[in-house]
Structures are given as structure tokens and as C-alpha cells.
Amino acid sequence: MKKLTLALSLLMLTGCITTEMPNAGKPYNPQTDARVRIFGQNERPTIMYVEVNGKEEKINVGGSFGQAFSSMLRIKGNESIGMPETPLSKDPSILSGILSKSFFKEFIIPAGKEITVKNGMRTVPHTFTDTTGKTTTSYKYCEENNKFTFIPLAGKDYEVAPSSNINDCRIYVTEIK
């Protein structure tokens, strides 16, 4: 019974993760705004911290229950606002893993204000038994030391993606030219 209660509690809490900007639907103004494309997936979400209207917002791409589940089933689609394509946006599957389809979501963000992005990662469990019969299950986690902060310029487009190597915890921010 305790396990069921815990599972239901976790399921409800994942519904509280923000995946939208409070200014969603706002028209893009290249004089005051920038745009960012963020890649995420099941077990490898990307989180963006951005100040909007004087309040810090935490936007999660790939970490909500719905996004993670859709990524696992490989049915999650990309959400574009019309940013120019890049080789990665044309084929995000190079970041995909087993039970984890990579996808992207694009946002309009305020220019001239500090943005912090970080990529969390938890690998699939690896279980092995040594010669003495001892069984060990291991995961690889990356999260806290994996941040990048930048100030977007007005009229510019940026892409935020994890390394394509599952053992590499780095996150990359690239200006789209």
C-alpha cells in the first residue's frame, strides 16, 4: 500500500512541472526578444531558468510525466515556433536512446537577461553479478555541476542540447546563424 501511495504521489508531483513560458503565445519581437530551442527526452531533461516579468521561471523540457512518457513511447513530437533549422533539429534522433526519443521545444525569451540552462541525466540501470555472487545495480547521474549561463542578444536564435555521447554530461549552447 505504501508503494502505491508513493507512486501516485510522485505521479501527481510530476504534473506540477512547468513546461510552458508564462508569455506563451506572445508575438516575437526581434528588437526585445531572442529565441531558444531546447532538446529534452525521457531520463535526460533540460531545464531553463529565465526571468520573465520580474519572476524567475523554471522551464523543464523532457522531465514532466507527459513528456517523459511520450518520449519513452517514441510519440513525442517537436514544438516549433519557426526558428531556422539546424542539422540537429532536422534529425534529433541522434540524441535518442533506448526507450527515450529526443525532441525539442522552442521558446521566445527576453533578450539581455541572464539565462541558465542545465541538463539532467540518469542512465538506464546496469546490473551485474561478480564472481562472489554479489549483485550490484549502478546508474550514472549528472545534474548539479552541469550548468551554462549566458545572456541572449535581441534578434538572435540559440540551440541548447546535451552531448550526443550518453557518457558525456556536458550541455552545449550554440547561436544559430
What is the chain's pLDDT, residue by residue, as a tens digit (177 residues)?
554 444 444 444 444 455 555 566 789 999 999 999 998 877 678 889 999 888 999 998 876 555 555 545 555 678 889 999 999 888 877 776 666 677 889 999 999 999 999 887 666 666 778 888 888 777 666 665 678 999 999 999 999 988 777 667 778 899 999
What one-character DSSP code corresponds to residue 105? E
Q: What's the pTM value of the predicted model, to 2 decimals?
A: 0.74
Q: Compute the Cα dihedral for 69, 72, 76, 82 and give only its sign.
A: positive
Give the DSSP H/E element, type plus range, for residue 69.
helix 65-72
Q: Please count the helices (runs of H) and the strands (runs of E) in the chain.
A: 3, 12
